[in-house]
Chains A and B, each alone.
Chain A
Amino acid sequence: MDRRQFLSSIGRGTILAGLTAISGVLIYRNSKNTDQCTFDFICQDCRKIKSCKQPEAIIFKRGKEKRNSV
């Protein structure tokens, strides 16, 4: 293994470790989170908005209906 390959494998290992850490943190947080969604800007693009029962989604849908009726 030459110097370049050695550095490359260190970089690869670091990136893999980082990815594992990120996934671990996110999955752990997901398991602890209750079903909440406070990101109203997402509703606009959300594909599950039609069936979503979150208060933000209901407000968003009402607003949209009101806007359409005007």
Chain B
Amino acid sequence: MKRKLAIVFLLIIISLQIYNAFAIQRFPKPEFESGHTQPPTITPDPRSNALAILDVFVLVAALSIVSWLVVKKRSRKGVFWMSIFAVLYFGFFREGCVCSVGSLQNITLALFNPEYSIPITVIAFFILPIIYTLFFGRTFCAGVCPLGTLQDIFALRPMPIKSWLEKVLGIIPFIYLGLAVLYAATSTDFVICRYDPFIGFFRLDASFMMFMIGGIFLLIGVFIARPYCRFLCPYGALLNLVSRFSKKHITITPAECIQCRLCEDSCPFGAIDKPVLLKEKEERPIAVRRFVMLSIIIPLLILVGGFTGAQFHENLASVNSKVRLANELLNNTNYGETEQEAFEITAFNAAGQSKEELYNEAASIIRQFYYGGWILGGFIGLVFGLTLVSLSVFKYREDYTPNKGTCLSCARCVDYCPVLPENKVIIQK
């Protein structure tokens, strides 16, 4: 009942978007001939430093509580209520910014451009979830990330998807991560923020397109739990890697597994690894041959990926505003506008920079994209190679265990386990 109430409440808040999504400026601003100037628009002050520090404290508190609820208390209900809090505080109250997902771009930009001053709160929002993941698994994804928790609340009828499809789609976040890093490193754009499907919901100012995209994600999320987290989130890809080294991690059973199989289909994210019988283990010569083959294939994939990425460097660079401006000036296309000079060209002419300087700058950016294309392509090749390895490596397992990488620590599986910490089994009627 409480869960339904929470969902209804969130639906009401999200439905407020419709008003903004269809809003248009009804008439242009009047131009006064009497010399009257329009008063400046009154805008709220930027967030004070004290509040920014408070946000970091709330983040630490939320991470600690969720980690305790997941690892120690093993409470799904507790995680659910923390999710509601995260959506309300980090989502609607803080308007989803700074979020840890987007902060990886700020970190990249700061690393590649020493003159960029990154706020300490942004560093904290990037580092803290990774540290907690290193010790307790992806508890940030479970109940602190506003993007993930919003989708989690809407996962009402989750359906399992084929494991091969899960693996293939699981490559997308790594590609997105590579692209986001490339665009941030070259000071081109923050693509994660630009195409964040839920930020418009939180700020109550979604454009029609983003409102539709966010809505579609939530609708898909009813049947395929957390589609953005599993198949797109670049920070999730990072936490996926880090979580594999976590010191403590949620376990399905608090004591010895009794192989009752109740938890087998409990995970909406397909993150439970089933036991593998010893008799299924392949012979050693076959495994060695596979290892040798993969050792050759992975460097080859990195090379091919790098070469392919480098071939697309001009296409990738065309997103950069300076490269675009140089192209428009060079081809005299005026951004496709026919009636008047494009605003960007007017601004460039007013700035007093010469065309040669702009062309040199654009050429330097394109060169950065060439090297970046090699690295991005090589990275994607590596991800493909490692996915192949994970599909072909034999792992002997006796119990049902959460996959440390893909498990989002939501604690749903815990409710299915009849084993008590004292090794007693709950007997239901």
Contacts and interface: CB of A to CB of B under 8 A. Distances in A.
Interface in A9-63: 9, 11-12, 15-16, 19, 22-23, 25-27, 29-30, 33, 35-42, 45, 47-48, 50-51, 59, 63
Given A26-B107, A68-B29, A47 B97 contact: yes
Interface residues of A, number: 35
A29 B109 CA distance: 13
Interface of A: 8-9, 11-12, 15-16, 19, 22-23, 25-27, 29-30, 33, 35-42, 45, 47-48, 50-51, 59, 63, 66-70
Interface residues of B, number: 40
B189 A41 contact: yes
Given A30-B117, A30-B120, A19 B247 contact: no
Contact of A27 (B45, B120, B193, B321): B120
B245 A11 contact: yes
Given A36-B117, A41-B189, A47-B47, A16 B29 contact: no
B256 to A, nearest CB: 18
Interface of A is mostly: helix
B117 A35 contact: yes
Interface string B31-69: 100000000000111110000000000000000000000
A29 B113 CA distance: 10
Contacts of A36: 115, 117
A70 to B, nearest CB: 8
A15 B130 contact: yes
B34 to A, nearest CB: 17
Contacts of B321: 40-41
